[in-house]
Amino acid sequence: MNNVHIPRLDLLDFTTGSPDKQRQFSDALGKAFTETGFVTIANHGMDKALINELYEVVQQFFSLPEEQKRNYEIPGLAGQRGYTAKGKEKAKDAKTPDLKEFWQRGQTVIGDDELRANYPDNVEVKELPKFNAITEEVYRRLELAGRSLLKAIALYLDLTEDYFEDKVINGNSILRAIHYFPLEHPETLAPDAVRAGAHEDINLITLLIGASADGLEVLTREGTWYPVTAQGDDIVVNVGDMLQRLTNNKLKSTTHRVVNPPLALMKTSRYSVPFFLHPKADVSLAALPSCVDAAHPKAYPDCTAGEYLDERLREIGLKM
């Protein structure tokens, strides 16, 4: 990964293109996921107006007084729904919490009563009905884009195109709105206090709105950090640990972080909205048989997505 290349792909090539265009898209996506684990995606199904509205409502929410936001902190849910205050989450191996607060919205199950009972209800913000409506809309659109990307990955892995569909429809995905809050006295920060410490994402793939603002970096194989930026309203998509496990390390869940800006800019906010695409909890993360051979022995013990998530939420301090 000396010459880091994060390609920009057009999702319409896959969703409406000729079979040739679809194949090219899936090859390019697969290649990027075996190298850096990151791509940027244009024409992802959210127009500029929706993204602007999203930023507007997200800023409105985080501008509410602290005690009002705290009303939306739900004990016992490990931050999986509603508000998580400053100082709560840290990267897996970090000692100091990240400099952020966030909101999480989960799946709205339609139909399947049994599955609906497995998920906590979403938390609605009374003061901001538009926040609820827009975050739900963005959740739906990113889930659709993510399902298309998984179809392209399935083709790359020589699986049937619909391989992931029944595993992720009504899955345990999370939309997270993050506020990297301003600091009046950034010079007093602990030296290891960062906006988001080096980590790998837990889920299958992450679709991120907001990397048009500086700060996101990926760790290269040489151990140096490389900035990731998206053009305009493009989104960044990366592989998470669940997809790395399923593919027995063929697809790479690359370490990334969000660095602090220069001191003067620490007095300003940064916002981002990642969508963590998860399967349903009972889906097995055992390596796909096609990804295991003598040269690539099985790297991980079998477990389900639900068991794995539970372990990881404990490691990042969200679950006791």
Ligand X SMILES: O=C(O)CCC(=O)C(=O)O
Which one of ligand X, Fe ion, none interacts with residue 155, CB within 5 to 8 A by kind?
A: none
Beta carbon of residue 208, minimum distance to Fe ion (angstroms, whole number): 8
CB-wise, 41 or 115, nearer to ligand X? 41
Query: Both tokens of residue 178?
Result: 């993050």
Among 51, 157, 258, 285, binds ligand X (CB under 6 A): 258
**Does 237 sit near ligand X (CB under 6 A)?**
no
Beta carbon of residue 102, minimum distance to ligand X (angstroms, whole number): 8
Per CB under 6 A, contacts with ligand X among 273-302 are 274
Per CB under 6 A, contacts with ligand X among 174-203 are 178, 196, 201
CB-wise, 101 or 201, nearer to ligand X? 201
Q: Residues, the chain, total? A: 320
Q: Are 249 and 296 in contact (CB under 8 A)?
A: yes
Beta carbon of residue 168, minimum distance to ligand X (angstroms, whole number): 18
**Does 98 sit near Fe ion (CB under 5 A)?**
no
**Does 256 sit near ligand X (CB under 6 A)?**
yes
Q: How far is CA 289 from the centre of its chain?
A: 26
Q: Are 197 and 272 in contact (CB under 8 A)?
A: no
Burial of 206 (0-12, 13-18, 19+ CB in 10 A): buried
- The whole-angstrom separation of Cα 118 and Cα 108 is 11
Which one, of 193, 259, 205, lies nearest residue 229 by Cα?
259
Q: Are 131 and 62 in contact (CB under 8 A)?
A: no
Binding segment for ligand X (CB under 6 A), chosen from 10-18, 153-161, 207-215, 311-319, is 207-215
Among 98, 101, 143, 201, binds Fe ion (CB under 5 A): 201
> Is the sign of the CA dihedral 307, 312, 315, 319 positive or negative?
negative
**Does 6 sit near ligand X (CB under 6 A)?**
no
Q: Are 195 and 258 in contact (CB under 8 A)?
A: yes
CB-wise, 141 or 199, nearer to ligand X? 199
CB-wise, 77 or 288, nearer to ligand X? 77
**Does 216 sit near ligand X (CB under 6 A)?**
yes
Among 152, 272, 277, 316, binds ligand X (CB under 6 A): 272
Query: Both tokens of residue 42?
Result: 């244009």
- The whole-angstrom separation of Cα 274 and Cα 38 is 14
CA-based radius of gyration for the chain: 19
Q: Which residues in this chain contact ligand X in the complex, by CB under 6 A? A: 178, 196, 201, 208, 210-211, 216, 256, 258, 272, 274
